[in-house]
Amino acid sequence: MFTYLATLAAEVPDPADVNWLLSALAQASAALVAIVGGLLVSRYVSLHAEQQAAGRRVADLRRRVAEVETEVKAARLARDVEDIDWFLYDPRVYDEIRVRDFEPTILNVVDATGGYGTDLDQDLMTERLAALAADLKDAFTIMWPLVPAGGSQPSWIEFRRRTGVEAGDDDAWEWAYDFICEHRKRAAGNRNPFAALGGQAMRPMSRRDQVHLAALRNRVERAEDEARALAQERRLAEETFDATRQPEGFRLGLQVLSVLSVLGMGVPVVLMAFVQYSLPWWGRSLTVAVFFVGVALLLRFLFVYAAFLREDGGRDRLPSNALWLFVPARFQPKSSGGSEPEIPAADTDQALNATGSVDGVPEEPVGDGMRQGDEVEQAVEPVGDTR
């Protein structure tokens, strides 16, 4: 049969000029490349604008995340300082500092308060304890010779007005003044300031202090929630930015257009350059077949890409190059490129909760059980301060 076709084709006279055929094939290929390439170029232009907008969005979110991380750290520090100060600024702690010759350890003050304070920041507590001990030592050193012996003593406010004492922490200095006054009354003439005067009651927490502590804890919670929300929003913006940089399928489309350009325009143009008027039948058939291979490759790419974009299209990835377009998906090797799978919002939130951090700012539990009044009401009206 092939012999018959060859004989039949040999008897058919060659066209007068094959350049018409080659020119038509080149023009048709150029039109296809121009149409599809124009769509890709227009998409690239729009993607460039989207990329710039996404880049600005990512930069803004990174700046906001940095700001809220700073706020989280500041809020936690303010909360921890308040917690530690309420633990340390206690008459029992004052007395323990005095007994230990103003060089107490954290273990001393924890034992003096019945085991409270073990869940607080130890480094910050050490720093605050040293500052309190130095302040109390200055209070005793300065006020000891100023308080008169025996008799009735003026109030703390009156004593400060008369002597012009520049107090450090008012609460600690007032306790030191009361201690010295009581010592003067009980042991007139005894100038040893380190005599124990018995147990001291723990001062109660005022309603205003409760509101202040609750506000600090709410500030920490709000800052952490905002940091989580911004961190998740930033991740989504970064995913959008990465998607605009190199969308999946564009590289494959450029490969298909390159193959169509070579087969549909390159081959005819080369033949027109070296063939004057005619081609044998097999030459014409091969040239037409090469053109249709390029067209088929372009159509196959469009069908494959459409199936990939559909959720039920049966394709979860694109071929790694144009040569694999005619191979069934199950026989194709996995592509190393492509975008990373999107992380659902719920999974991201669970991951944040599991790691217990907000972009490098570790979660820190609020100390519980450290002193009287830790069960703070969330909404109470502020009243007069008893400190």
Note the pLDDT tens digit of each residue in 236-265: 888 888 777 666 777 888 888 898 899 888
pLDDT on residue 337 = 43
pLDDT digits (tens, 9 = 90+) for 57-67: 888 888 888 88
CB 131 within 8 A of CB 84: no
Rounded to whole angstroms, how far apart are CA atoms 330 and 327?
8
Q: What is the DSSP letter of 362?
A: E
pLDDT on residue 334 = 66
Closest by CA position to 243, among listed 51, 94, 90, 1: 51
pLDDT on residue 40 = 80
pLDDT-based confidence at residue 313 (cuts at 50, 70, 90): low
Of 82 and 150, the one with more pLDDT? 82
Instruction: Give the pairing type, strands 357-358 and 361-362.
Output: antiparallel
Among 170-179, 188-197, 254-263, the minimum mean pLDDT is found in 188-197
Contacts 24+ apart (CB under 8 A), 29-38: 29/260, 29/261, 29/263, 29/264, 29/265, 29/268, 29/291, 29/294, 30/264, 30/265, 32/260, 32/264, 32/295, 32/298, 33/257, 33/260, 33/261, 33/264, 33/265, 36/253, 36/257, 36/298, 37/257
pLDDT on residue 91 = 85
pLDDT on residue 15 = 52
pLDDT on residue 203 = 55
Element (H, E) at 358: strand 357-358
- Mean pLDDT throughout 76-83? 86
pLDDT on residue 115 = 75
User: pTM here?
Assistant: 0.49
**Per-range mean pLDDT, top range of 245-249, 321-325, 366-370:** 321-325
Among 86-90, 225-229, 324-328, the minimum mean pLDDT is found in 324-328
pLDDT-based confidence at residue 134 (cuts at 50, 70, 90): very high
Q: Average pLDDT, whole number, for the chain?
A: 75
Q: What b-and-e string marks burial along 201-237, b requiring 16 or more CB atoms within 10 Å of the CB?
A: eebebbbbbbbebebbbebbeebbebbbebbbebbbb
pLDDT-based confidence at residue 79 (cuts at 50, 70, 90): confident
Rounded to whole angstroms, how far apart are CA atoms 300 and 16?
35
Distances in Å between the Cα of 142 and the Cα atoms of 122, 154, 246 are: 30, 17, 73
